[in-house]
A and B are shown apart, each in its own frame.
Chain A
Amino acid sequence: MSTPVEALATTEEDLKTRILYRLMRLAQDRWRTLILIIPFTWLLVFFLAPFFLVLKISLAETIIASPPFTPMIEWVDEGIMHVRVVVDNYAYLWEDDLYVNTYLSSLKISTVSTILCLLLGYPMAYAIVRSNHTTKHILLMLIILPFWTSFLLRVYAWLGLLADQGTINDLLIALGIIDEPIRMLYTHFAVYVGIVYTYVPFMILPLYANLEKLDWELLEAAADLGAKPMATFFTVTLPLTLPGVIAGSLLVFIPATGEYVIPDLLGGGNVLMIGRVLYNEFNANVDWPVASAVAIALLLLLVLPMMLYQHIQGKETESHE
């Protein structure tokens, strides 16, 4: 008979193999769960949880401490839990004109920019779809190329163009069109230019994808039935490409609302956008609860468009099946 020590040894090895075997079986049967669980957990931890954190902090008070906000749950003598939730920050947002104006200004700027992107992007996308094969490829490449270059540097380029001693003013003065340089930098105009410049490819690509799938015979049928080109566009083309229009618009509107770099670099202190305010609140004022409240409020503003976008994306993938 084997000694207890030897017996123990065999069971240990046995245990290891058994565990390994169990794991392998688990992998085989539940490989689907494994595939899912890795990205799922990552997103839970690094995407979802942080939002709840922001929410929690937005409901706290600012204090001089590290971290500079009051904890939500405090244990006070003999295990009594004290929960402190403060909604002052939201009230502050609502009452302070600066915040309300900034939100409104951000929405206004992003809406106008979206419309401008649409007005420029739609004809461009249309023109690309209608061009011949090789030209199409080249044009698409031209549209995509800026997208892959540094966004920051391209916005920076406008600094040089829009400055008082910048290229555009120089050109206009040289051509004799104006005598004094026009104030372009650090104005709303500059921000609009910057946003349209940066986001127009995001408008063109979904529109292009949508237009590509359009059945051109439909336009011919409409013409055959007596519709003039303008009428055909508004009654046939536009309704059919509406999903692309909406997708492109959301892709511009939602991120543009929270833009930071463009209003900071091109707008200076004159253009109020919520992204800048949030950043400053956080860094300059070290007012985390307020910054968090600003973020949550922005999120609430954008939640409907975001859900709309997701809904459209879902329908897109469905229509492929």
Chain B
Amino acid sequence: MNNGKRSIFLLSMLSFGIAFLYVPMIMLVIYSFNKSKIVPIWGGFSTKWYGVLFESPEIWEAVSLSLRIATVNACFATILGTLAGLALVRFGQFKGRTLFSGMISAPLVMPEVITGLSLLLLFITLKEFIGWPDQRGFTTITIAHITFSMAYVAVIIQSRLAGMAQDLEEAAQDLGAKPLRVLTDITLPLIAPGMLAGWLLSFTLSLDDLIIASFVSGPGAVTLPILIYSRVKVGLRPDINALATIIILVVAIGVVTAGYIMLRQQKQRERDLKMTAEET
């Protein structure tokens, strides 16, 4: 029957798609345990590459730098992005709104080479005129990351604020809360989950960024992606596979945990609804 044919089509596309997404990652993991140095040629099972990875000081330095940048970036980007999202949803028409709105959504789609190049030129020009930044590295990379991360946070916050939020804020005002109170009592608790999501997103984007960091970094400031890239440019390396496996593992644990928590919340919500339905 037609319906059956369609279901088969959908199912096969879905399976193919999922396989397509995951097979490369699975291969990465498998080959991280490959004894042979030449990645695609299987030489037996071994965990020695994890050892090589852990003993490499450049890797640790790069990890540390990337984590520091990511954390600072996530914190600032969340604050700035939340402010921006609030302004765009709650402030109605104000002077310069179109410009602001454009600036906030552009980083989402702008090719990274353009943002990277423009920021580097900015930093160089600034150094010429006011002497800062003296050395490009941690600070410049963090500033660059904050600039595009805040765009993502703003989008998340805007979507959280659309809908019921305005009614709730007006209700609070009606009951005697001044505007600042409304912000702390109602708005912030409402967008808190969005802020958390924004933080995590900013953190991940920063950790993963190669292009922009390449442009605005300086000698001595090697982030993890920069390090990985320089190594894989010359070919396949099993210690990179080991690194990849670790990252995949960490992310998988995070995503699965988050998914599980959300599913539990959903089940709880359904139970609550059933309970009220039964009572009436």
The CA of A27 and the CA of B40, in the complex, are separated in Å by 63
**Cross-chain contact A313 with B105 (CB below 8 angstroms):** yes
Chain B nearest CB from A84 CB (Å) reads: 17
**Cross-chain contact B248 with A149 (CB below 8 angstroms):** yes
**Cross-chain contact B13 with A317 (CB below 8 angstroms):** no
**Cross-chain contact B121 with A42 (CB below 8 angstroms):** no
Q: Looking at chain A's contact residues, is the secondary structure mostly helix, strand, loop, or mixed?
A: helix
**Cross-chain contact B10 with A123 (CB below 8 angstroms):** yes
The CA of A47 and the CA of B100, in the complex, are separated in Å by 11
**Cross-chain contact B87 with A275 (CB below 8 angstroms):** no
Is residue A177 within 8 Å, beta carbon to beta carbon, of the partner chain?
A: no
Is residue A134 within 8 Å, beta carbon to beta carbon, of the partner chain?
A: yes
Q: Which residue of B lies closest to A137 (CB)?
A: B263
Q: Which residue of A lies closest to B162 (CB)?
A: A320
**Cross-chain contact A43 with B91 (CB below 8 angstroms):** no
Is residue A269 within 8 Å, beta carbon to beta carbon, of the partner chain?
A: no
| A35 touching B117 in the complex, CB below 8 Å, given contacts A47-B106, A309-B109 | no
**Cross-chain contact B113 with A148 (CB below 8 angstroms):** no
Interface-central residue, A44, A145, A260, A302, by most chain B CB under 10 Å: A145
**Cross-chain contact A143 with B21 (CB below 8 angstroms):** yes
Q: Pick the residue among A35, A257, A259 that contacts B87 (CB under 8 A).
A: A35
Is residue A166 within 8 Å, beta carbon to beta carbon, of the partner chain?
A: yes
Chain B nearest CB from A95 CB (Å) reads: 22
**Cross-chain contact A38 with B118 (CB below 8 angstroms):** no
Is residue B44 within 8 Å, beta carbon to beta carbon, of the partner chain?
A: no
Chain B nearest CB from A132 CB (Å) reads: 13
**Cross-chain contact A144 with B255 (CB below 8 angstroms):** yes
The CA of A160 and the CA of B38, in the complex, are separated in Å by 10
Chain A nearest CB from B95 CB (Å) reads: 10
Kindly list chain B residues whose C-beta atoms are within 8 Å of the C-beta of A228.
2
Within 8 A of B (CB), among A120-178: 120-121, 123-124, 126-128, 130, 134, 137-139, 141-146, 148-154, 156-161, 163, 165-167, 170
Q: Pick the residue among A149, A260, A302 that contacts B247 (CB under 8 A).
A: A149
**Cross-chain contact A295 with B251 (CB below 8 angstroms):** no
Q: How many A residues have CB within 8 A of the partner chain?
A: 93
| A254 touching B109 in the complex, CB below 8 Å, given contacts A120-B17, A149-B248, A265-B232 | yes
**Cross-chain contact A153 with B109 (CB below 8 angstroms):** no
**Cross-chain contact B24 with A120 (CB below 8 angstroms):** no
Chain B nearest CB from A256 CB (Å) reads: 8
Q: Pick the residue among A40, A149, A163 that contacts B251 (CB under 8 A).
A: A149
How many A-B contacts at CB < 8 Å in the complex? Answer: 264
**Cross-chain contact B255 with A148 (CB below 8 angstroms):** yes
Interface-central residue, A139, A160, A255, by most chain B CB under 10 Å: A160
Chain A nearest CB from B112 CB (Å) reads: 7
**Cross-chain contact A153 with B240 (CB below 8 angstroms):** yes
Within 8 A of A (CB), among B234-255: 236, 240-241, 243-244, 247-248, 251-252, 254-255
Kindly list chain A residues whose C-beta atoms are within 8 Å of the C-beta of B204.
148
Q: Looking at chain B's contact residues, is the secondary structure mostly helix, strand, loop, or mixed?
A: helix
**Cross-chain contact B14 with A197 (CB below 8 angstroms):** no
Is residue A103 within 8 Å, beta carbon to beta carbon, of the partner chain?
A: no
Q: Pick the residue among A44, A144, A292, A314 that contacts B117 (CB under 8 A).
A: A292
Kindly list chain B residues whose C-beta atoms are within 8 Å of the C-beta of A40.
84, 87, 96, 100
Q: Which residue of A lies closest to B2 (CB)?
A: A229
Is residue B39 within 8 Å, beta carbon to beta carbon, of the partner chain?
A: yes
Q: Which residue of B lies closest to A57 (CB)?
A: B121
| A250 touching B119 in the complex, CB below 8 Å, given contacts A31-B180, A150-B247, A167-B27 | no
Is residue A11 within 8 Å, beta carbon to beta carbon, of the partner chain?
A: no
Kindly list chain A residues whose C-beta atoms are within 8 Å of the C-beta of B124.
67
**Cross-chain contact A310 with B101 (CB below 8 angstroms):** yes
Contact with A along B31-55 (1 / 0, CB 8 A): 1000000111100000000000000
Is residue B171 within 8 Å, beta carbon to beta carbon, of the partner chain?
A: no
Is residue A90 within 8 Å, beta carbon to beta carbon, of the partner chain?
A: no
**Cross-chain contact B113 with A295 (CB below 8 angstroms):** yes
**Cross-chain contact B259 with A295 (CB below 8 angstroms):** no
**Cross-chain contact B211 with A260 (CB below 8 angstroms):** yes
Is residue A186 within 8 Å, beta carbon to beta carbon, of the partner chain?
A: no
Is residue B170 within 8 Å, beta carbon to beta carbon, of the partner chain?
A: no
Is residue B229 within 8 Å, beta carbon to beta carbon, of the partner chain?
A: yes
**Cross-chain contact A265 with B233 (CB below 8 angstroms):** yes
Q: Pick the residue among A121, A145, A170, A314 that contacts B40 (CB under 8 A).
A: A170
**Cross-chain contact A130 with B10 (CB below 8 angstroms):** yes
With A130-B10, A255-B112 known, 9 other A-B pairs at CB within 8 A are A39-B150, A43-B103, A46-B144, A50-B119, A124-B14, A143-B21, A292-B121, A310-B102, A320-B162
30 CB contacts below 8 A, A to B, read: A35-B83, A35-B87, A38-B83, A40-B87, A43-B150, A47-B103, A48-B103, A120-B13, A120-B20, A126-B10, A137-B259, A150-B208, A150-B244, A152-B208, A152-B232, A154-B28, A156-B28, A156-B232, A160-B236, A197-B24, A201-B21, A255-B111, A257-B111, A258-B110, A258-B114, A264-B233, A292-B117, A309-B109, A310-B106, A320-B159
A residues in contact (CB < 8 Å) with B: 28, 31-32, 35-36, 38-40, 42-44, 46-51, 53-54, 57, 67, 120-121, 123-124, 126-128, 130, 134, 137-139, 141-146, 148-154, 156-161, 163, 165-167, 170, 197, 200-201, 228-229, 250-251, 254-255, 257-261, 264-265, 275, 278-279, 282, 288, 291-292, 295, 298-299, 302, 305-306, 309-310, 313-314, 317, 320-321
- Which 10 A-B residue pairs are closest in the complex by CB-CB distance? A258-B111, A50-B118, A320-B162, A157-B24, A123-B13, A39-B84, A127-B14, A127-B10, A50-B122, A254-B109
